[in-house]
Amino acid sequence: MSVTHSFLDPIPSIYLGAPDSDQALGVLPGHRYLLAGHGYTALKLTVIGSFGALILSIVLFPIFIPIVKYGYDYISAYIGYILLAVVSFMILRDNKKIWALFIFLLSGVLGFIVLNIPGFGNPLFPLLSGLFGISTLLISLNDNTSIPKQVIQDDLKLSKKLTLKALLSGQFSGFLTAVLPGVGAATAAVLSLQFTRNLGDKGFMVLTGSINTVNFILSMVTLLVLEKARNGAIIVVQELVVNFSMSHILIFLCVTLIAGSLSVILALKIAKLFSKLITKLNYRVLVIFIILLIIALVTLLSGFLGILVLIIATAVGLIPAIVKTTRTQAMGCIMLPVMLYFLI
């Protein structure tokens, strides 16, 4: 289920603009592909990322074991300073540095407050849905955007160099999410983007598709070496299997490979269905419906406090589009709390 989830997760982000915590950044280029008539291509890129990451992670599995075993304590001791350096680099490379700093701090303070509210259920859902989901949908609604006919193109031109570059970035990102508590896929993607230049939208979609798959495989390594589970499915495995050994690893890797292969077919078939159906709907009505659906889900999962967070986060999420700066600065909502966690 966890492997299948990593393959299917980008579908609502691309076609509906409704991200979860792991797909928050992917909704931006993914939605651009959709509005250009290439939503299927965007999903196919994430599938390439997921399956490519699965194969590469299995190949590199023997190497990950000593890296995690001997490098975990060293990396975790300096992650706060690494994050601080990366954030500084993110802001300094932005054309509008003052606005970039303002958006990072504003979203960071919002994230810190929201994530530390006692008893607040599913805080990331209203936070990220506002910053990256509803704000994006409102902008497209204001621009009177319509979804063009979707081109279902089976042949995809993607250079081997770019694919390998994106997959290796995904390995690095997945490594961070697997070994470091508090570092999610979106934060790890931001980190990778600072070290990997010129990925473009294609490479970025491959990257975002790969991270959760890498995280799942590497969580097996952390369970084997550190006896720590960094993935929900692996936590269940930890509870079911008392003495987790290499023989269990081999079985799980085989099952994961089979599940991943089937998930490729399933994800592409669902994407084709979505591509055919979405153009038959009135885009304006669809956007309003999605916004209302997100509001309903936030109310159900996070209560009326979640609605308040959603409204504030949406307002903050609109700022980058208004001032014409990069929206990745809004990932401060996660990066600042994580950075403070490691530094303080």
Alpha helices in 180-282 (DSSP H): 185-195, 200-225, 232-240, 246-278
Torsion 263-250-210-157 (CA) sign:
negative
Torsion region of 200: left, alpha or beta (phi above 0 gives left; psi -120 to 50 gives alpha) = left
Predicted local confidence at residue 236, as pLDDT:
65
Measure the CA–CA gap between 166 and 202, rounded to whole angstroms: 9
Read off the tokens for 292: 């209302």
Measure the CA–CA gap between 141 and 158, rounded to whole angstroms: 31
Measure the CA–CA gap between 12 and 324, rounded to whole angstroms: 26
The answer to whether the CB of 272 falls within 8 A of the CB of 154 is: no
Measure the CA–CA gap between 225 and 343, rounded to whole angstroms: 26
Predicted local confidence at residue 79, as pLDDT:
78
Torsion 50-54-57-61 (CA) sign:
positive
Predicted local confidence at residue 304, as pLDDT:
92
pLDDT, tens digit (0-9, with 9 covering 90-100), for 223-248: 888 776 665 566 666 666 667 677 88
Q: Count of residues for the chain?
A: 344
Query: 141 versus 250: which is more confidently predicted?
Result: 250
pLDDT, tens digit (0-9, with 9 covering 90-100), for 4-60: 878 888 887 787 665 544 444 545 677 788 888 888 999 999 999 999 999 999 999
Q: Is the pLDDT of residue 253 over 70?
A: yes
Predicted local confidence at residue 83, as pLDDT:
79
Please give the model's pTM, rounded to 2 decimal places. 0.76
The answer to whether the CB of 337 falls within 8 A of the CB of 108 is: yes
Q: Where are the domains of the chain?
A: 2-343
pLDDT, tens digit (0-9, with 9 covering 90-100), for 60-118: 999 988 888 888 777 777 878 877 887 888 788 788 999 999 999 999 999 999 999 99
HSE-CB of 36 using CA atoms within 13 angstroms: 11
